[in-house]
Amino acid sequence: MDEKKLKFNTKTIHGGQHPDKAYGAVMPPIYQTSTYAQTTPGGHQGYEYSRSANPTRTALENALASIENGKFGLAFASGLAAMDAVIKLLNPGDEVVSTNDLYGGSYRLFKQVFEKYGIKFHFVGMQDADTIATYINENTKLIWVETPTNPMMNVIDIEGVSQIAKKHDVLLAVDNTFATPYLQTPLDMGADLVMHSATKYLGGHSDVVLGALVVNEKELADKLYFIQNASGAVCGPMDSFLALRGIKTLHVRMQRHCENGRAVAEYLNGHSEIDKVFWPGFETHPNHGIAKRQMNDYGGMVSFIPKSGNKKDAINIVEKLKVFTLAESLGGVESLAGHPASMTHASIPKEEREKSGVVDGLIRLSVGIEDAGDLIADLEQALKA
């Protein structure tokens, strides 16, 4: 079986997977062990200590590589732990050009942790890929792209950015958390590295915190494996198992997330009490052309601003929702609603936040896979009240 030729819907289930060698278990056992017996010093079966490698984690890492059309997958304790490993590739004095409206925790990691180690970050609106080049100098080592962006749903042209990255010999990393490989595979568009918060759609059931990296180049993979083992922010076997189980239904969940996302976006767009709806599937969305070319569909994330635009009304609406749960996070089977300015993006200073459009009236929805009619009825009652 030539794995590379398998379609996505088959890779999610079989990619990089083999029945377990011991008893033929179809799902990899949860190898809840820290260490492995050796017959003679150094005489082991490929595993010696679970920070370095664990068979359940290996099964997950192989699945991650397969679904992202990459060669090497690495799994971490969280999405931010995966990002932390990427930035540790850099040295003091190096510079990073990053998307300006990105996940609040990513911004905090860059600004409040790594800046004090002498790494400089530029936060740039990347909808026009050409503006990136103006921020690149001889110290630039990495371009960090998040698309669609969180929570403004801007779409960045990965292929366009990759041309700039290649021209300047800079590494390109894409946070593919929102889209998932169901919608886009950045490595196929010229990215060097894909990162995931597998806590979200890949895990898909809001029961695990986990991060992932996927790359194609052996040299880059080796450097990241070194950091993964040396810094040690690995995920445990139970969490690896949960993420792997989640991936097996990614394609069916994503199909429904996209259908429901569209239904909710269209409902909100026609509502008299709503000022703006952010969803890349609208033809009027400023980056719709790129989204249409780059993505297979438009995903389940929808943001909107009610007519009054004030914080009180936004909070009132999210508190009134009953089927949507008011909570951080996204990408699970259940629908969630959030108020980015006071939740996911509270760690970004108000002025910075508002520059990228995250105003106090903004509400973000992670549309789940429930009945679309129930979700719309829930929004209807909350908007009326």
Verify whether residue 141 is a known catalytic residue. no
| Least Cβ distance, residue 200 to ligand PLP (angstroms) | 5
Q: Cα(98)–Cα(81) distance, rounded to whole angstroms?
A: 18
- Of residues 267 and 278, the one with the C-beta less far from ligand PLP: 278
To the nearest whole angstrom, how small is the minimum distance from the Cβ of residue 207 to ligand PLP? 13
> One of 11, 141, 200, 353 is an active-site residue; which one?
200
Residue 266 structure tokens: 């269209």
Write down the least CB distance from residue 164 to ligand PLP, Å. 22
- 378 three-state secondary structure: helix
Only segment of 44-52, 62-70, 72-80, 220-228 that touches ligand PLP (CB under 6 A): 72-80
Tell me the C-alpha distance between 337 and 367, whole Å.
8
Distance, CA of 2 to CA of 13 (rounded, Å): 15
Of these residues, 31, 103, 201, 298, which one is catalytic?
103
- Which residue lies nearest ligand PLP, judged by its C-beta? 79
Annotated catalytic residue, options 84, 101, 157, 175: 175
String marking each residue 79-118 x if it binds ligand PLP according to CB under 6 A: xx----------------------x-xx------------
Residues between 141 and 200 that touch ligand PLP (CB under 6 A): 146, 150, 175, 177-178, 197, 199-200
- Is 103 a catalytic site residue? yes
Q: CB nearer to ligand PLP: give 12 or 176.
A: 176
Q: Residue 214 burial (CB < 10 Å; 0-12/13-18/19+)?
A: buried
Rounded CA gap, 162 and 78, in Å? Answer: 26
Q: Identify which of residues 189 and 233 has a Cβ nearer to ligand PLP in the complex.
A: 233
Residue 147 and residue 169: Cα distance in Å, rounded? 21
Q: Which is nearer to ligand PLP, 200 or 383 (CB)?
A: 200
Could you tell me whether strands 211-215 and 193-197 are parallel, antiparallel, or unpaired per DSSP bridges?
A: antiparallel
- The answer to whether 353 is a known catalytic residue is no
Q: Considering CB under 6 A, how many residues would be counted as binding ligand PLP?
A: 16
- Closer Cβ to ligand PLP, 72 or 144, answer by number: 144
Nearer to ligand PLP, 17 or 149 (CB): 149
Q: Which of 160, 211, 261, 281 binds ligand PLP (CB under 6 A)?
A: 211
| Beta pairing class for 120-124 and 95-99 | parallel
Quick note: the x/- pattern for ligand PLP over 303-342, rule CB under 6 A, is ----------------------------------------
Who's near 48: CB < 8 A, 6+ residues apart?
Answer: 35, 36, 38
Q: Smaller CB distance to ligand PLP: residue 306 or 340? A: 340
Q: Smallest distance from the beta carbon of 364 to ligand PLP, in angstroms?
A: 10
Q: Where does the chain show beta strands of DSSP type E?
A: 72-76, 95-99, 120-124, 140-146, 171-175, 193-197, 211-215, 274-278, 301-306, 325-326, 336-338, 363-366
Q: Provide the 8-state DSSP code for 35.
A: B
- The answer to whether residue 366 forms part of the interface with ligand PLP (CB under 6 A) is no
Neighbours of 21 (CB within 10 A): 9
Nearest-angstrom CA–CA distance, 21 and 91: 42
- How near is the Cβ of 373 to ligand PLP at its closest, in Å? 27
Least separation in angstroms between residue 277's CB and ligand PLP is 20
Closer CB to ligand PLP, residue 79 or residue 332?
79
Choice among 20, 36, 51, 135 that is catalytic: 51
Q: Which amino acid is at 299?
A: G
CB of residue 28 to ligand PLP, shortest distance in Å: 22
Question: Could you tell me which residues come within 8 angstroms of residue 192 by beta carbon, excluding any fewer than 6 positions away?
Answer: 165, 171, 172, 173, 215, 216, 217, 220
Cβ within 8 Å of residue 101, ≥6 positions away: 125, 146, 149, 150, 151, 152, 154, 356, 357, 358
Q: Look up 51 and say whether it is catalytic.
A: yes
Closest to 152 measured CA to CA, from 363, 349, 331: 363
What residues line the site for ligand PLP (CB under 6 A)? 78-80, 103, 105-106, 146, 150, 175, 177-178, 197, 199-200, 209, 211
Residue positions annotated with a catalytic role: 51, 103, 175, 200
